[in-house]
Amino acid sequence: MADHITSKLNPDSHLILDQPLLRLPFELLRKNFKVAHLNVEKESTALKSTLRETANASLNANASPDDVLKNVDSMIARMRGLKRKLTSCSEEENRLHQQSQSRIRHLGELYGMQSLDDVKYEEWSRTRLDRLLVDYLLRYGYKESASELAQEKGIGELVDVETFVQMSRVSESLRRGRVTEALAWCNENKKDLRRMESKLEFTLRFQQYIEMIRTQDEQKLLNAITHAKKYLLPFKDSFPGEIQQVYGLLAFPPGVGPDPYARQSLVRSFKPFHAYTQLPTLSPPVPLLHIALSAGLSALKTPSCHSLHAPSSTTSICPICSTELNDLARPLPYAHHTKSHVESDLKLLPNGCAYGKRKLEEYARKAGLDAGWYKDLRSGEVYRCEEATTVYIS
């Protein structure tokens, strides 16, 4: 049987939640490399062929010296462009290297700790909570809060604010009412989206369609029908209900009937979340905070946390009983215990409440009672000591 109380810290298994911390920068590093590689490949092919053609043309005297010079200039320009791109890749690479280093150091600190009671562990765990919070905030699109918190706590290297901002450009453009970037993004990530059975592309195309109808311009309406045939009909098996709506919409100009014209829902359906999962292998589909919390809430929860009996007033308030988490923990299972965990010197007061003897004595002393009296820690009723009976917990 597992022990009820532990303070053992096993860093290897303790880092389950922290895998994305190192995976994400690494995956981005690879992506960054691919971009660099692609550019080199493209430019080298182009340059080599330009050079060959120019040389041939010059040899056959087909090209004027001016033309030759122009071609050489364009090659130099291309090369400079390549250098610029590589330099920016190199900067990104450096950022990711730096970030990985800080993160490995941060995780490594855990290996230097003796136990869960170590003061250093508490500090580390607080930083972890801050990381989880920033991750949560980013996923729900609370960007300002996320960067403020990261800055306030000085954990910029340990969270992905910057990466996220880069990735959330798409959702930004959506918010401004442009779907082009989002559609391009859909195209790049076709495979993953299909696997996720994402409705995203359909929603975007539908929105384009709505925007065309919104104008009520005759030409645009015709365009809309073509658009629907081309982009929306292929989805008729996946989303039959919506397809009906598509044609229904033709009959309803904006302002009549229920309003599917609202743009609001679209922006919401393209949460930065999607952009974040651009790299699905390393970025978990739900916020890590959810995982940590649902495990933690259950581990801490006891039947007493949602009991009708108020907990005794002197104990420190339990985190699950505290307002912050009480409702959240309600539907979750409570922790399993195989052994009782009560004070060893329980005394039962006549009103049915049981407390440890030492606790009762201390409380009586603090309340300024004479010797020989107990005071109930919940209700404040006062009893003679003889009225209390001993409780045996086996």
Partner 1 sequence: MDNLLIELAKLRRDSNLTESIQDVDKILEQLEAARESIVQDPNSASFTLAKLQNPLKHGFDKVNDDLKKVHKGQSAYGRALDKNLPHKELPFDIDGLASRPTLINRAISMHLLREGQFQVASTFLDEAQENPPQPSPMPSTPNFSEIDETDLPSLKSRELQDKFSNMYTILNELKAQNLHPAIEWARANSHELEKRGSNLEFELSKLQFVWLFLGPSVNGLPNDMNNGLSGALIYAQQHFQRFQARFLKDIQQLATAMAYSSNLQDSPYYRTFDIETAWDDVSTSFTREFCSLLGLSAESPLYLAATAGAIALPTLLKLYAIVKEKRTEWTTRSELPVEIALPRSMIFHAIFVCPVSKEQTTDQNPPMMMPCGHVIAKESLQRLSKGGKFKCPYCPGESIPSQAKEIIL
Interactions with partner 1, residue window 322-341 (CB under 8 A): 322-325, 327-328, 330-341
Taking CB under 8 A as the criterion, the residue among 233, 250, 286, 382 binding partner 1 is 286
Interaction between residue 195 and partner 1 (CB under 8 A)? no
Taking CB under 8 A as the criterion, the residue among 240, 241, 255, 303 binding partner 1 is 303
Interaction between residue 157 and partner 1 (CB under 8 A)? no
Q: Please, what is the minimum distance in Å from the beta carbon of residue 207 to partner 1? A: 18
* Separation of first and last alpha carbons in the chain: 18
Q: Per the structure block, which two tokens stand in for 28? A: 């981005």
Taking CB under 8 A as the criterion, the residue among 28, 42, 54, 232 binding partner 1 is 54
Question: What whole-number distance in Å separates Cα of residue 368 and Cα of residue 380?
Answer: 13
Stretch that binds partner 1, among 146-154, 163-171, 229-237, 243-251 (CB under 8 A): 146-154
Q: Please, what is the minimum distance in Å from the beta carbon of residue 177 to partner 1? A: 16
Taking the least distance from each CB to partner 1, the nearer of 90 and 166 is 90
Contact 100, 25 (CB under 8 A): yes
Taking CB under 8 A as the criterion, the residue among 119, 316, 344, 372 binding partner 1 is 316
Interaction between residue 28 and partner 1 (CB under 8 A)? no
Binding characters for partner 1, 107-126, by CB under 8 A (x = yes): xx--x----xx-------xx
Taking CB under 8 A as the criterion, the residue among 157, 353, 383, 385 binding partner 1 is 353
Taking CB under 8 A as the criterion, the residue among 113, 158, 297, 388 binding partner 1 is 297
Q: What is the dihedral of CA 37, 40, 46, 47, to 10 degrees?
A: -160
Stretch that binds partner 1, among 51-59, 162-170, 225-233, 245-253 (CB under 8 A): 51-59
Stretch that binds partner 1, among 2-10, 177-185, 203-211, 228-236 (CB under 8 A): 2-10
Number of residues that bind partner 1 (CB under 8 A): 149
Interaction between residue 387 and partner 1 (CB under 8 A)? no
Radius of gyration of the chain (CA): 33
Stretch that binds partner 1, among 74-82, 163-171, 201-209, 246-254 (CB under 8 A): 74-82
Q: Please, what is the minimum distance in Å from the beta carbon of residue 344 to partner 1? A: 11
Question: What whole-number distance in Å separates Cα of residue 162 and Cα of residue 151?
Answer: 12
Question: What whole-number distance in Å separates Cα of residue 328 and Cα of residue 306?
Answer: 11
Closest CA to 183 of 119, 245, 270, 88: 270
Taking the least distance from each CB to partner 1, the nearer of 226 and 389 is 389
Question: What whole-number distance in Å separates Cα of residue 41 and Cα of residue 36?
Answer: 9
User: Nearest 5°: CA angle at 56, between 53 and 59?
Assistant: 150
Q: Per the structure block, which two tokens stand in for 67? A: 């033309």
Interaction between residue 274 and partner 1 (CB under 8 A)? no
Cβ of 232: how many Cβ atoms within 10 Å? 20
DSSP 369: P
Contact 216, 198 (CB under 8 A): no
Question: What whole-number distance in Å separates Cα of residue 346 and Cα of residue 42?
Answer: 80
Q: Please, what is the minimum distance in Å from the beta carbon of residue 233 to partner 1? A: 28
Q: Please, what is the minimum distance in Å from the beta carbon of residue 236 to partner 1? A: 26
Taking the least distance from each CB to partner 1, the nearer of 251 and 308 is 308
Q: Please, what is the minimum distance in Å from the beta carbon of residue 24 to partner 1? A: 11
How many residues can be counted in the chain? 394
Dihedral sign computed on CA atoms, order 71, 75, 76, 77: positive
Question: What whole-number distance in Å separates Cα of residue 313 and Cα of residue 203?
Answer: 54
Interaction between residue 46 and partner 1 (CB under 8 A)? no
Contact 49, 95 (CB under 8 A): no
Q: Per the structure block, which two tokens stand in for 69? A: 């010079």
